[in-house]
């Protein structure tokens, strides 16, 4: 039996995903009819979806068993009123690996003082000796798949790592905190703060002036999570006073970051263009194919979104 699957994503994604996805499904014993413009919308069983594909009305796909997201973030999806089908977000092993590499690289960059070393090329001999990793406290906000993997990688380098999440978590080697009191403690330890929270009404501008004031003076903020987690005005003020010594930001409330935004010119801000990690077709198709197989076998789908929580 052939399973009708709608691919509701960009033309570029179609080029990158179509053949690998069909092959991944075939490897799992599922034959799919992958379509971009189905003749019979009601017959579609699964919708592979990203918001940049332009589709916003899920009403015609009344027979769909699930919508399978291509993106890790779902804040642009969960609010669509016609999306009543089960929604699975993308938890991609390749995306996780890429995020671990980016986060670890920038944590080490700030820990070792690499910026200062690289820019000091004026012939002045100025040795810089950072503390050992065991004496630099890292806090990771968000302990989902990405946050947990990054926290464990940093712990493996001997950093003391505090993690914070909305609900209790237990990760070996990580001091896992939760709740309001736990957040205050996590921030107070954050010599380097890594933000990997989902964007929800509860996390929008979570890193505001009071939160930044709780951090150790001279701390570093690294944000590869979601731009609106940070109150930009409060962060700029904290940078200007020295409360925060540097911010490395990969995501922003408006993307691309407007040329007139003060982050571009601020000497203590590093801007990267949303490159911390990306969903990679070669690994993402296995996640989508497995969920289609599960749906056809009557098994629970992986990575379902809790609409009440927004992720």
Tens digit of each residue's pLDDT (9 = 90 or more) over 195-210: 999 999 999 999 999 9
Q: What whole-number distance in Å separates Cα of residue 196 and Cα of residue 11?
A: 29
**Catalytic position from the list 274, 280, 293, 307:** 274
Distance CA 134, CA 141 (A): 19
Whether 89 is catalytic: no
**What is the mean pLDDT, run by run of 10 residues, along the chain of 311 residues?**
96 97 98 95 98 95 97 92 96 95 98 89 85 98 97 98 96 96 97 97 97 98 98 98 98 97 98 94 97 98 92 88
Per-residue model confidence as pLDDT tens digits over 92-117:
999 999 999 999 999 999 999 999 88
Calpha distance 63→267 (Å, rounded)? 54
Question: 186: which residues sit within 8 A by CB, 6+ positions away?
Answer: 139, 141, 162, 163, 164, 177
What is the predicted pLDDT for the residue at 120? 76
Give pLDDT, residue 309. Answer: 85
Query: Is-above-0.95 flag for pTM?
Result: no
pLDDT for 121? 77
pLDDT at 145: 93
Please state whether the peptide bond connecting residue 256 to the residue before it is cis, i.e. omega within 30 degrees of 0: yes
- Check residue 110 and give its pLDDT: 98
Active site residue 274: yes
| pLDDT of res. 105 | 98
Mean of all residue pLDDT scores within the chain: 96
What the chain holds in terms of domains, given with CATH numbers, is: 2-92+279-297 (3.40.50.720), 93-271 (3.40.50.720)
Among 89, 226, 246, 303, the active-site one is 226
293: left (phi over 0), alpha (psi -120 to 50) or beta: alpha
């Amino acid at each position: 039996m052939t399973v009708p699957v709608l691919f509701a994503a960009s033309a570029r994604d179609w080029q990158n995903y179509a053949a690998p996805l069909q092959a991944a499904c075939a490897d799992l014993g599922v034959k799919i009819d992958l379509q971009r413009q189905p003749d019979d919308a009601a017959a579609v069983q699964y919708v592979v979806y990203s918001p940049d594909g332009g589709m916003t009305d899920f009403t015609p796909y009344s027979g769909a068993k699930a919508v399978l997201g291509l993106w890790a973030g779902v804040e642009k999806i969960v609010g669509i009123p016609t999306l009543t089908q089960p929604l699975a977000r993308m938890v991609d092993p390749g995306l996780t690996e890429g995020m671990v590499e980016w986060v670890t690289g920038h944590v080490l960059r700030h820990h070792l003082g690499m910026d200062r070393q690289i820019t000091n090329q004026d012939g002045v001999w100025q040795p810089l000796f950072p503390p050992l990793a065991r004496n630099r406290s890292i806090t990771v906000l968000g302990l989902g798949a990405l946050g947990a993997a990054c926290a464990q990688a940093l712990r493996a380098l001997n950093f003391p790592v505090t993690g914070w999440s909305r609900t209790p978590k237990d990760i070996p080697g990580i001091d896992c905190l939760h709740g309001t009191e736990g957040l205050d403690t996590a921030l107070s330890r954050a010599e380097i703060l890594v933000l990997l929270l989902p964007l929800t009404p509860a996390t929008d501008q979570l890193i505001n002036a009071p939160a930044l004031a709780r951090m150790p003076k001279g701390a570093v903020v690294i944000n590869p999570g979601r731009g609106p987690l940070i109150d930009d005005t409060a962060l700029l003020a904290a940078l200007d006073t020295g409360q925060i010594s540097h911010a490395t930001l990969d995501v922003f409330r408006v993307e691309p970051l407007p040329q007139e935004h003060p982050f571009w010119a601020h000497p203590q801000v590093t801007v990267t263009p949303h490159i911390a990690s990306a969903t990679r077709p070669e690994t993402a198709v296995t996640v989508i194919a497995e969920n289609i197989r599960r749906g056809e076998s009557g098994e629970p789908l992986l990575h379902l979104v809790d609409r009440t929580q927004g992720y």
